Structure formats: C-alpha cells, structure tokens
Amino acid sequence: MSDELTQALADLEEQKVETLVDERLAAGADPSSILAASQDGMRQVGERYEAGEYFVSDLMMSSAIFKKVVARLEPLLVGTTAVSRGSVVVGTVKGDIHDIGKDLVVSTLRASGYTVTDLGVNVPPEQFVAALKETRAPVLALSGLLTISFDPMKETIEAVEAAGLRSQVKIMLGGGPVTELVRAYVGADALGADPPTAVRLADEWTKVA
C-alpha cells in the first residue's frame, strides 16, 4: 500500500502534504523517513510525466511542494547520516541566463537523493571545471535554452578534457533546442531531455539501481 504522504505529493496535493508533514513531525516521526516518503512521491511524479499523464507545469508544481518539505525538514536533518546516491554538478552555460529547466532538474535530482552542486546561470567553463575538481562529481549536467549556448557547451567539455577529467565524468545536455546533432557537436555523452531522463542517466552513470 502506498504511503499517504507519498500519494499526496504524487497527486500534487500541496495542503495535504504540508498537513501530513506537520502531523508526522508532531508525532515524533523520523525526519529522514518523511523525506524518503516525499522522494518516493517525486519519483511517481516523474513516472506520470513519462507516461504522458503530467506536463511540465505539473513538474514545476511538484518541485515547489518538495522544496517546501525540504525547507521544513532541513533544520531537523542536520547531523543525520542520510546517504547520498551520488554527486552531480549542474549549471546553465556561459551566455545563457535561463534557469527554469535547470532548476527542475536540480530539484528532481535532489528529490531522488543526489547531492547537487548548482552553479546557477551564465557559468564559464573554468567554473564547471573547478566544481568538478572540488566535488569529484562523476556527472555534469549542462543546460542551455539558446542556440548561442552550443559553443559554450563545447568549450566547457573541452575545458573538462583539458583538465584531465573527461574520462572520469559523464556529461548530459538539457534545453529546448538541444538535439542529438548538438550532443555530437559538443561532445556530450547523452541528452537529459527532461528531469526524469536526467535522473535515469545519473542512476545509470553512478551505477545506482
């Protein structure tokens, strides 16, 4: 039987989610168990999106609900030993300031248990390289909504290669105009066409079942 909180988040019932979280905390429930149930709800949202039952607006809604849950639980999770499923560096490349799609991917990855370093927008190649060195993340996600972002994507991947990290890092691309031809041009490993696909790629690349 599905957890009530999981189902409420999957059904995008914001008020019910908030009520259930408060009730469970008041009853002394482990905050990490509440987070896990919420993550399961986000996974169901992704499945519904892939099945054509949900749309981008629904992904945005679920992301907003999940962020509220995390904000409520975060102070209570300090010092817990929750295990990350892996590390991912994400950012919108230099010359592009669009962040809606990127933010959805970040939220979905975090909801799936990944540690995400979000570099924001208009990120130069050297900043991506520095973050990869600092975090030792095996996955890099590059976002861009403009066609002028293709060359910065290529330059970023070339910078990763020049730094000697390319063999250690899998790279996905995201953004409306990004196609398989663009992926081949810039030298990325795959297209993360939407948040569920980004999570599936991260799972595959970090060998998470």
For 170-186, what is each residue's pLDDT tens digit?
999 998 889 999 999 99
pLDDT, one tens digit per residue, over 29-65 is 998 899 889 989 998 998 999 899 999 899 999 989 9
What percent of the chain lies above the pLDDT cut of 70? 95
Please indicate whether residue 208 or residue 196 has the higher confidence score (pLDDT).
196
- Pairwise CA distance, residues 60 & 58, whole Å: 5
| Closest listed residue to residue 56, CA positions, set 164, 150, 189, 196 | 196
Gyration radius from the chain CA atoms = 18
The angle formed by the CA atoms of residues 142, 144 and 146, to the nearest 5 degrees, is 160
What is 87-205's CATH number, 3.50.50.60, 2.130.10.30, 3.40.50.280, 3.40.50.410? 3.40.50.280
- 4-77 matches 87-205 in fold: no
pLDDT at 82: 59
pLDDT, one tens digit per residue, over 4-38 is 999 999 999 999 999 999 999 999 999 889 988 99
60-64, 76-80, 136-140: which is most confident: 136-140
Give the architecture (CATH level 2) of 4-77.
Orthogonal Bundle (1.10)
What's the CA dihedral at 120, 126, 128, 133 to 10 degrees?
-140
Residue pair 121/144 in contact by the 8 Å Cβ criterion: no
Any idea where the domains of the chain sit in the sequence? 4-77, 87-205
